[in-house]
Amino acid sequence: MTQKHDNFINGQWVAGASYTPNINPSNLGDVIGEYTQGDAVQLDAAVQAAQAAFPAWSTGNVQARADALDKIGTEILARREELGTLLAREEGKTKPEGIGEATRAGNIFKFFAGECLRLTGEIVPSVRSGVAVEITREPLGVVGLITPWNFPIAIPAWKIAPALAYGNCVVLKPADLVPGCAWALAEIISRSGIPAGVFNLVMGRGSVIGDPLVNHPGINGISFTGSQGVGGRIAQQCAVNLKKVQLEMGGKNPQIILDDADLAQAVELSVQSAFFSTGQRCTASSRLIVTDGIYGKFVEAVQARMATLKIGDALAAGIDIGPVSSLSQLQQDLDYVAIGQAEGAQLVAGGARLERTTEGFYMAPALLLDTTSAMRINREEVFGPVASVIRVKDYEAALAESNNTPFGLSAGIATTSLKYATHFKRHSQAGMVMVNLPTAGVDYHVPFGGRKGSSYGSREQGRYAQEFFTTVKTAYIGA
């Protein structure tokens, strides 16, 4: 018998109408647990519980809030190995990557525990004599948090922690592919001393739970991370209902390699950000833009490095890359390799399904050469271990190609030239720019987000999170 996991509503564990097995993508015979599927009635109960809890929580003692968040962070960090293992088992990133993500989640709660005590306002002179003006921030209200499958503990953490720190009440709807980490996080939160109704977990499908959450009149704001298609629809629904919304979506992140780059460093950071975590990072670099002078050496060295990558069970020691997370994602990855080839790209490495001792969704990382920015493979997010190379003449052409995309999340440059690095930082149209670092891999205490089709609304993480999770009040005080 596998363990059954329920929704957390108004301080109680509540069974939904049915349960879905959570399957390990490294080993399809391994069922991690059964997770309940909620419905619109449960969702409504969660929103009502959050509304009822809001007056006391939003005006309550900030030390109590800080203590609760600190307790959650402490427990996550103490259990990072166990939580990271669960993460690797349900999502497919390697165990060290899973532990790293769990550590990040713990650190985020610790950071926002401190932020509870650091919320400030402004007092400014009034233009009228005898009047004082105060500008303060207040919680937004009840927020709906909708999260994707690729960072099953870090993304829920980076939305829940600021939401609670700034005095909001929460309804979390995690991705239905990976409910395990969200449930484990909810279980930790349930023992943190946070009052009933302040935090609620409702698991289930996007159409069944996500859609009514977005449209519920009791919800004051939606913080969403996921695909551009779903995000765009959510933005429209929020606009119609005049709700605050924040969207973090896909990427088609460029990694420029200039002639003067340190070759070994450029190869390592390109392979890292294109293929590690199975390429399933919104910040993964899927377009390697390489100047003529280093092109031959770089492509050869990348292929040599790719040949050393160990692909296998996410929980096994010494593995570089785990499986793709689901069959539908694997099919999408393979389809895009075929689309790229049909468009004229040359597949020089990987791109096929792999067999291992256990049945899982394994794929050999793919490298496509002779690609152009007009090709679908360079315009649409694949979200798998698939990278394409665009050859250019010089820095100016590389910069133009890097910005030639509907997305704008992260962008990198490998160069030893201060001149080009400085110019790129200013002229890249991405929200995050990396110099001699992988496009993926960011700190937890600074703003995260993109431009163009990658993001909509204010930034997440760090102090900038208060832009979304608070609303500004201007108070005038007469004599």
- The torsion defined by the Cα of 193, 103, 96 and 309, in degrees rounded to 10, comes to 130
Q: Which one among 16, 73, 106, 148 touches ligand NAD, defined by CB under 6 A? A: 148
Output 241 or 417, the one with its CB closest to ligand NAD.
241
Binding string, residues 391-430; x marks residues near ligand NAD by CB under 6 A: ------------------x---------------------
Residues 107 and 444 sit within 8 Å (Cβ to Cβ)? yes
Q: Between vectors from CA 181 to CA 103 and to CA 49, what angle results, nearest 5°?
A: 115
The β-bridge relationship of strands 244-248 and 253-257 is unpaired
| Of 6, 75, 176, 320, the one binding ligand NAD by CB under 6 A | 176
Dist CA 37 CA 47 (whole Å): 17
Are residues 185 and 158 in contact, defined by beta-carbon separation less than 8 angstroms?
Answer: no
Number of alpha carbons in the 13 Å side-chain half-sphere of residue 328:
2
Spell out a b/e string for 308-324, using b for 16 or more CB atoms within 10 Å of the CB, else e.
Answer: ebebbbbbbeebbbbbb
Q: How many of the chain's residues bind ligand NAD (CB under 6 A)?
A: 28
Structure tokens at 274: 């294109």
φ, ψ dihedrals at 359, nearest 5°? -75, 125
| Helix orientation angle between 62-78 and 154-165, rounded to the nearest 10 degrees | 160
Question: Of 101, 282, 401, 467, which residue is the catalytic one?
Answer: 282
381 binds ligand NAD (CB under 6 A): yes
Per the residue annotation, which of 101, 248, 401, 467 is the catalytic one? 248
The closest of 149, 439, 408 to 276, measured between CA atoms, is 439
CB of 204 to ligand NAD, least distance (A): 8
From the list 270, 289, 374, 387, the residue with the least C-alpha distance to 336 is 387
Pair 420, 398: CB distance under 8 Å: no
Residue 211 makes contact with ligand NAD by CB under 6 A: yes
227-246 residues in contact with ligand NAD (CB under 6 A) are 227, 230, 234
| Binding residue for ligand NAD, selected from 8, 57, 199, 383, defined by CB under 6 A | 383
For the question of residue 181 being annotated catalytic, the response is no
Which part of the chain contacts ligand NAD (CB under 6 A), choosing from 7-15, 90-98, 142-150, 345-353? 142-150
**Interface stretch with ligand NAD, choices 55-63, 107-115, 129-137, 247-255 (CB under 6 A):** 247-255
DSSP letter (8 states) at residue 321: B
**Known catalytic membership, residue 282:** yes
Closer residue to ligand NAD, CB minimum distance, 207 or 308: 207
223 binds ligand NAD (CB under 6 A): no
Report if residue 16 touches ligand NAD, rule: CB under 6 A.
Answer: no
Give yes or no for residue 143 binding ligand NAD (CB under 6 A). no
Q: How far is the CB of 24 from ligand NAD (least distance, A)?
A: 18
Q: Which amino acid is at 381?
A: E
Residue 191 CB, nearest approach to ligand NAD (Å): 25
CA 116, 119, 124 angle in degrees (round to 5)?
165
Piece in contact with ligand NAD (CB under 6 A), picked from 31-39, 77-85, 170-178, 357-365: 170-178
By CB under 6 A, is residue 92 in contact with ligand NAD?
A: no
The answer to the question of residue 150 lying near ligand NAD (CB under 6 A) is yes
Show contacts with ligand NAD in window 438-457 (CB under 6 A).
Answer: 454
Q: Is 207 in the site for ligand NAD (CB under 6 A)?
A: yes
Q: Which amino acid is located at 352 in the chain?
A: A
Q: Is 330 in the site for ligand NAD (CB under 6 A)?
A: no
The distance of closest approach from Cβ of residue 472 to ligand NAD in the complex, given in angstroms and rounded to an integer, is: 25
Q: Is 154 in the site for ligand NAD (CB under 6 A)?
A: no
Residue at token pair 């059954």 = 4
Q: Is 101 in the site for ligand NAD (CB under 6 A)?
A: no
Closest distance to ligand NAD from the beta carbon of 87 (Å): 14
211: Cβ contacts below 8 Å, ≥ 6 apart: none
Segment interacting with ligand NAD (CB under 6 A) among 23-31, 70-78, 108-116, 204-212? 204-212
Asked if residues 291 and 413 have their Cβ atoms less than 8 Å apart, the reply is no
Angle between helices 418-427 and 395-403 (to 10 degrees): 20
Distance of closest approach, residue 343 Cβ to ligand NAD, in angstroms: 21
CB-facing half-sphere around the CA of 142: CA atoms within 13 A: 27
- Using rule CB under 6 A, residue 169 touches ligand NAD: no
Angstrom CA distances, 344 to 330, 335, 388, 426, stand at 22, 14, 12, 33
Which residues form the catalytic set?
A: 248, 282
Site residues, ligand NAD (CB under 6 A) = 146-151, 173, 175-176, 206-207, 210-211, 214, 225-227, 230, 234, 248-251, 282, 381, 383, 409, 454
